Chains A and B, each alone.
Chain A
Amino acid sequence: MTNLLKTMEINLGPQHPSTHGVLRLVLELDGEVIKSCTPIVGYLHRGIEKMAESRSYLQYLPIVDRIDYLGGFFNSYAFCDCIEHIANVEVPEKAQYIRVLCMELNRIASHLLWLGTFMLDLGASSPLFYCFRDRERILHIFEELTGQRMMYNYFTFGGVRWNIPDAILDSISVFVADLPNCIKDYENIITNNPIFISRCKNKGVLSKKTALQYSITGPNLRASGVALDFRKSNPYLVYDKLNFDIAINSECDALARYKVRISELYSSLEIVRQCLDYIRQSNDEVINKTLKPVILNIPDGEYTSSVEAPRGLTSCTVKAGGKNPYRVKWRTGSYYAVQLLPELINNSEIADVMAIFGSLDVILPEVDK
């Protein structure tokens, strides 16, 4: 009884603009201090896994882009890779390079959006506009290439739908040359800003042990000092032929997660440059036509494909059986980050909730699926 009088329970969300979707947090407050937090998810559940069972592989392919709408290429790739492995089909090398190019540009776009919205959560509005302005250039490139800005449907079973025209390669080159200056500008505004540092330094400390216990992956894990990047540890596509560094920081706080993502922008740019060089020289096919997507008759089998997405490890398990998948299972990074939230925000002040939550880069469609 005394406890009830002392503390107050409030709902944050599900319609709060800072929750990046529809996340509801039930917070127990003692004054300004959070005593307990219960995340409630499921407001955006669309039954993506169940939808697969009533659709053919080809019908399901456009839907996977919608699991994480900021990283559609990663989901498409994970699903296509499963089908290609079950059907035992080789993907032409040029198509693999195009896939890497698209995914890395997608990672840059995703991190830029994260940077803008994270700064908006902290109360800085100028970086949002600069990040969106630069992200818009990537979206224009994707629109020219695939036909849409976010729901691409460009990767298909056996490769990619069509080759990249030279004009698009040129515009990517111009963008890649311009972006380092833009990132420098963001860093000038943000990195040493005393208000930003006081909001982020030593806030939301995620120790190495906790991160591993909660199965955290991606930039959040690397900001806790664990050098796990699936592009390096289990190289898929052509990542073993590319030179790039993975960003690690062992400070474990929200500031470290910001620094890791900024470094990832540079390493993604490095990968994009190397892919551009290869794609310009190569005259190969971009699709293996032995796999007929419409009359896809793949043998029974099961395969799990893992990909290093912007928000951590995304993996897709497909159990094939006949015309439709028997079962499709998605594992996405944000789901684990939401479960971690009570650990990070207990005993912190209510004003820090959004700074900590924003630094984890959670996206709700990926959580609820």
Chain B
Amino acid sequence: MLKQIYNSILSLVIGHLTVFKHSFKKRVTLEYPEIKPYLNNKFRGKHEFDISKCKACGMCQKVCPANAIDIIKDENGLSEYNIDYSKCIFCGNCYYYCNFKAIKPSNQFELATSDKKSLKVTYKKLENTNE
């Protein structure tokens, strides 16, 4: 019985000393949003789309698990490229399998909004003025 009490007190003292030791360690949290977290170049945030490289082959549409990409073609090729961020699950398949490197990941992750319509991003080809 006495031994049990002694062991209990000893373990409590060791536990408290450990917690006390930890309180002098370096802080690990960031003061977000003032300080942004470090993100590497593989981070899968909002897409960066380069319409001049896109050949409208439809690969990204084919591999997207959430059907978030919509490609509209006309007789000249691509006319409109839509990404719906309310559906996108940021899996990265669209840029892993793009043959022309037209779509890339970016570090932009703050996509929260109160307007659902703004989550639909449309890229349109510029009109050819020489026509």
> Taking beta carbons and an 8 Å cutoff, which residues of A are in contact with B?
55-56, 58-63, 126, 130, 133, 136, 143-148, 151, 153, 161, 185, 188-194, 293-294
Instruction: Decide yes or no: A143 and B65 within 8 Å by CB, A151-B89, A153-B92 being known contacts.
Output: no
B7 interface residue per 8 A CB criterion: yes
B65 is contacted by which of A60, A130, A192 (Cβ under 8 Å)?
A60
Roughly how many angstroms separate A59 CA and B92 CA in the complex, as a whole number?
A: 11
Please tell me if the beta carbons of A189 and B18 are within 8 angstroms of each other in the complex. Answer: yes
- B28→A189 contact, CB < 8 A: no
B66 to chain A, nearest CB (A): 9
Query: In the assembled complex, which residues on chain A have CB atoms less than 8 Å from the CB atom of B63?
Result: 56, 58-59, 294
Please provide the chain B residues from 2 to 25 with a CB less than 8 Å away from any CB of chain A in the complex.
7-8, 10-12, 14-15, 17-19, 21-22
Closest Cβ neighbor of B15 among chain A residues: A189
| Residue from B11, B28, B42, B64 within 8 A of A144 (CB atoms) | B42
Judge whether B49 is part of the interface by a CB distance below 8 angstroms: no
A–B pairs, 28, beta carbons within 8 Å = A58-B63, A59-B64, A59-B93, A61-B65, A62-B91, A62-B92, A136-B28, A143-B39, A143-B40, A143-B42, A143-B43, A144-B40, A147-B43, A147-B44, A147-B92, A151-B89, A153-B92, A153-B93, A188-B15, A188-B18, A191-B11, A192-B11, A192-B15, A193-B11, A193-B12, A193-B15, A194-B12, A293-B97
Contact of B8 among A55, A185, A194 (CB under 8 A): A194
Chain A residues contacting B19 (CB-CB under 8 Å) are 126, 189
Q: Is B120 an interface residue (CB 8 A)?
A: no
Given A147-B44, A161-B96, A59:B105 Cβ within 8 A? no
Q: Give A146 to B42 CA distance when docked, in angstroms.
A: 7
Indicate whether B90 reaches chain A with its CB closer than 8 angstroms: yes
| Chain A neighbourhood of B18, CB < 8 A | 185, 188-189
When A144-B40, A147-B92 are in contact, do A294 and B12 touch as well, CB less than 8 Å? no
Which A residues are CB-close (under 8 A) to B121? none
Residue interface bits B22-62, CB-to-A below 8 A is 1, else 0: 10000010000000000110111000000000000001001
Binding site for A on B (CB under 8 A): 7-8, 10-12, 14-15, 17-19, 21-22, 28, 39-40, 42-44, 59, 62-65, 89-93, 96-97, 105
Name B14's closest neighbour in chain A (CB-CB).
A188
**Shortest distance between the CB of B67 and any CB in chain A (Å):** 9
Contact B22 A62, beta carbon cutoff 8 Å: no
Nearest Cβ distance between residue B11 and chain A, in whole angstroms? 4
A contact residues around B39 at 8 Å (CB): 143
Return the chain B residue nearest A58 by Cβ. B63
Residue of B nearest to A140 (CB): B38
Residues of A contacting B8 in the complex (Cβ-Cβ under 8 angstroms): 192, 194
Chain A CB within 10 Å — which of B18, B22, B59, B105 has the most? B18
Known: A130-B22, A148-B92, A294-B62. 4 other contacts (CB 8 A): A62-B89, A63-B65, A126-B22, A153-B92
Residues of A within 8 A of B42 (CB): 143-147
Whole-angstrom CA separation of A72 from B22 in the bound complex:
31
Which of B15, B17, B18 counts the most A-chain CB atoms under 10 A from its CB? B15
Q: How far is the CA of A147 from the CA of B39 in the complex (A)?
A: 9
B41 to chain A, nearest CB (A): 9
Give the complex CA separation of A185 and B65 in angstroms: 43
State how many angstroms separate the Cβ of B23 from the closest Cβ of chain A: 9
How far is A96 from B40 in the complex, measured between Cα atoms in Å? Answer: 25
Measured CB to CB, the nearest residue on chain A to B96 is A161
State in angstroms the CA–CA spacing of A193 and B8 once bound together: 7
Inter-chain contact B105/A185, CB cutoff 8 Å: no
Whether the pair B15, A294 counts as a contact (CB closer than 8 A) is no
Q: Which of A146, A147, A192 contacts B7 (CB 8 A)?
A: A192
Output the least CB separation between B63 and chain A (Å). 5
Closest to A191 in B: B11
Is B93 touching A62 in the complex (CB atoms < 8 A)? yes
Q: Are A58 and B93 in contact (CB under 8 A)?
A: yes
The contact of A133 among B28, B43, B93, by CB within 8 Å, is B28
Chain B residues near A147 (CB-CB < 8 A): 42-44, 92, 105
